[in-house]
Structure 1
Amino acid sequence: MGSRIRSAYDIRVEEGVIAPDPAQVPLIAALERLEEDLSKKGLFGKQPEVRGLYIWGPPGRGKSMLMDLFVSASPEPRKTRAHFHAFMARVHDLVRQWREGDRKSRKAVFGTHRGDDPIEPVADLIASEARLLCFDELQVTDIADAMILGRLFDALFERKVVLAMTSNRSPDQLYKDGINRPLFVPFIDEIKARCAVIEIAGARDWRLDRLMGSPVWFADGGAGRQAFETLWYDLKGGEPEEPAHLTVLGRDVVVERTAGSMARSSFADLCARPLGPQDYLAVARRFHTLFVSDIPRLGPENRQEAARFVTLIDALYEAGTRLVATSAAEPEALYPCGDGAFEFERTASRLREMASASWLEKATHE
């Protein structure tokens, strides 16, 4: 039987859903190898050791798209796909449940209650759910994540869980300049030993090409809304949407609709809630593209929401996060008069710059 991932890829090329890219060829071959290895049987019916994949390269090269295709096509019955941040949020929650749980609650979640160390029962639970664990956008910036990853992954590898992951960074660049990074280096060595490292670094950024070919500020009512929706679905491809949980100063800030490193939200959700600069900085660091819908005309009557919007735009601008928006007006006409209009002129200028092709092309985001 032929490779399922190759067949799925070829069908989409023939249908014109995706364009062939020579830079993706090594990755497709690596995914074919992984698919074949997962199908092999070990001696006496035991699962053999299977080397996973660590796929890295700049944004927009098709890493997530090919990962989604692989997960969909893989015949492995026990498989899980998640964004790395969502995966780690769940791990931290499971660790908390173990530490805070009594005998009964531990038994209900983990099937056991013995011991003080949460890593073993957490690894047992994850391994019971998935032999193949795939996640996107591995990036380690948090000391709590860095300290738990090595031990958790060691435990998962012992249970023959196979990892396939994408990242914008090479393994050696993970947690670069992080606190106590030497303690994290053994995890990097383990990843390189347990996973084939594949770089995908074609010159073409597919998401940027699509953004460059489209307006990103839509201020013309119904037609603009439809174009906004079309652009969102084009850019996320077949990637599933899921909520993202950002921990900011001990609080849980939820962005309900995300796909990999893209997010979308309404103006009301972002600016009518009591969010502050640290929340917006967390959003800007986490996502390379943010879709914001239903930006209203602004004025003294909604001055507080306007102030939050200014703070949000400043955070996105400094982080190089790309903005796609639907609005009641063009940037220069968003806050036309009244108290605060003069101060908003700087934000209007930034919005216009962020909608330009030159800014989209130079904007960078790790």
Structure 2
Amino acid sequence: MQTLTQIYSDRVADGTLRPDPAQEAVLPLFDRLQSDLSQASETKRGVLGFLGGRKKPQAAKGLYIWGGVGRGKSMLMDLFHENSPVPSRRVHFHAFMQEVQAQIFAAREKGLSDTLLPVIETVAQDLRLLCFDEMQITDIADAMIVGRLFEGLFERGVTVVTTSNRVPDDLYKNGLNRQLFLPFIEIIKDKLEVHHLHSPVDYRQGRLTGTPVYFSPINDDTRATIDGIWADLTGNATDTLTLKVKGRDVTLPKFHNGIARATFWDLCGQMFGPADYLAIADAVKLLIIEDIPRLGRGNFNEVKRFVTLIDALYEAKVRVVASAVDEPESLYVEGAGVFEFERTASRLREMQDKDWAQD
């Protein structure tokens, strides 16, 4: 089996990747982990063959790779996952926690006293490696269970690799009852090797450099252009992401590696509020908003939601690609709140700058 260093070198040689010293510095950590997992797997087979038992090997020390948006963290993790020597799963952290919460609810409906234990057993049953994209904790329900959840997975021999935009000490920063969450941070530091991928190059931003990010009017050409941007950034991924916000499902129809794609009506045609848009802004690093219509008195509620959405994206420094019937300043020219919408138009214009949202 090739090491990640060898795979990376081959892709640099064939022009698929360009060499990056910060990315190259992480490769030995992945190579070490690949070796540890392979050795543990061999040991397990030997023990089972001799004892006829079902003992699971200890989890290898995993990895926590953090750094700015677009530095290549997810790309490296995906390469590692694709070449894993053990049964593995790659999943966005938000999506994983949604699955966990759903399973906890199902266990509660069955009247089980310990609703987390069967979840741990189910997740660990056939896996040796879990790869999480963009670990971040924003929901108190998640914050209160991740410590025991991960301890249970580690005890059952599951190794974790995760990417994040935050150093472990900043997870769930300023969250409610954060003191109850702090032991999880210590678990992360103990069970995962923490590495800062500190590249000066934002490859995600670079792929948009020189490319317009706001398209009007809406026609076949603009739709084709946005299709091309989506294909370039995600490989035409078809995953979805559902966020649980105060008991509501907020679904992004297309999502991959922090990049989401949705229509104006997906985002603003439903009764979403500030909390929903803040959750989207926290989960997404680039959002493609399609088919922004002419706005006016007849869709004033949608206008208010759109204003709130853009404010949330702007404050969180989320990159936006959009298609609309007209330029930002001409989207909403009559009706209540026209003056306030001028700020939204200004922000949409500012967010088109190629250097906007740079770390």
CA distance in 1 between partners of 2:232 and 2:215 (Å)? 16
1:50-73 CA-to-partner distances (Å, cap 9, x unmatched) read 211111111111001111111112
**Number of paired residues?**
347
Query: Who is 1:111 aligned against?
Result: none
TM-score (norm 2): 0.88
Query: Who is 2:179 aligned against?
Result: 182
1:154-197 CA-to-partner distances (Å, cap 9, x unmatched) read 11111101111111122222223333333323222222222222
Query: Who is 1:75 aligned against?
Result: 85
Asked if structure 2 preserves the Cα contact closer than 8 Å seen for 1:297 and 1:329, the reply is: yes
Asked if structure 2 preserves the Cα contact closer than 8 Å seen for 1:8 and 1:73, the reply is: no
Q: Please report how far the alpha carbon of residue 131 of structure 1 lies from its aligned counterpart in structure 2 after TM superposition.
A: 1.2
Q: How does 1:3-152 map to 2 (within 5 A)?
A: 3=3, 5-40=4-39, 41-42=42-43, 43-45=46-48, 47-49=56-58, 50-76=60-86, 78-101=87-110, 116-152=113-149
The 10-residue stretch of structure 1 (189-198 or 174-183) with the greater mean CA deviation from structure 2:
174-183
1:1-52 CA-to-partner distances (Å, cap 9, x unmatched) read 532x334323332332221101011212211221222112225246543211
Letter in 1 for 2:76: L
TM-score (norm 1): 0.87
Asked if structure 2 preserves the Cα contact closer than 8 Å seen for 1:119 and 1:155, the reply is: no
Q: Secondary structure at the match of 1:211?
A: coil
Q: Secondary structure at the match of 1:177?
A: coil
Q: 1:97 to 1:291 in 2, by over 3 A?
A: same
1:115-146 CA-to-partner distances (Å, cap 9, x unmatched) read 62122211111011311111111112222212
1:59-88 CA-to-partner distances (Å, cap 9, x unmatched) read 111001111111112232x21111111111
Q: Secondary structure at the match of 2:157?
A: coil
Q: Secondary structure at the match of 1:141?
A: coil
Query: Who is 2:223 aligned against?
Result: 225
Q: Secondary structure at the match of 2:240?
A: strand
Query: Who is 1:106 aligned against?
Result: none
Asked if structure 2 preserves the Cα contact closer than 8 Å seen for 1:140 and 1:146, the reply is: yes
Is 1:269 aligned to 2:279, yes or no? no
Asked if structure 2 preserves the Cα contact closer than 8 Å seen for 1:300 and 1:340, the reply is: no
Q: Please report how far the alpha carbon of residue 153 of structure 1 lies from its aligned counterpart in structure 2 after TM superposition.
A: 1.0
CA distance in 2 between partners of 1:359 and 1:56 (Å)? 21
Asked if structure 1 preserves the Cα contact closer than 8 Å seen for 2:262 and 2:289, the reply is: yes
1:156 to 153, 156, 161: 153
CA distance in 1 between partners of 2:305 and 2:343 (Å)? 14
Asked if structure 2 preserves the Cα contact closer than 8 Å seen for 1:133 and 1:162, the reply is: yes
Structure 1 outlier segments of 4+, above 4 Å? 336-343
Query: Which runs of 5 or more structure 1 residues have no equivalent in the other structure?
Result: 103-114
Query: Who is 1:304 aligned against?
Result: 301
Percent identity over the alignment is 50
Q: 1:241 to 1:167 in 2, by over 3 A?
A: farther
CA distance in 2 between partners of 1:349 and 1:307 (Å)? 16
1:177-233 CA-to-partner distances (Å, cap 9, x unmatched) read 333333323222222222222221111111122233321101153332222222223
CA distance in 1 between partners of 2:82 and 2:6 (Å)? 12
Instruction: Give the RMSD, CA atoms, in angstroms.
Output: 2.3
Is 1:235 aligned to 2:252, yes or no? no
Query: Who is 2:291 aligned against?
Result: 294
Q: Please report how far the alpha carbon of residue 339 of structure 1 lies from its aligned counterpart in structure 2 after TM superposition.
A: 6.6
Asked if structure 1 preserves the Cα contact closer than 8 Å seen for 2:56 and 2:156, the reply is: no
Q: Please report how far the alpha carbon of residue 90 of structure 1 lies from its aligned counterpart in structure 2 after TM superposition.
A: 0.8
CA distance in 2 between partners of 1:184 and 1:340 (Å)? 41
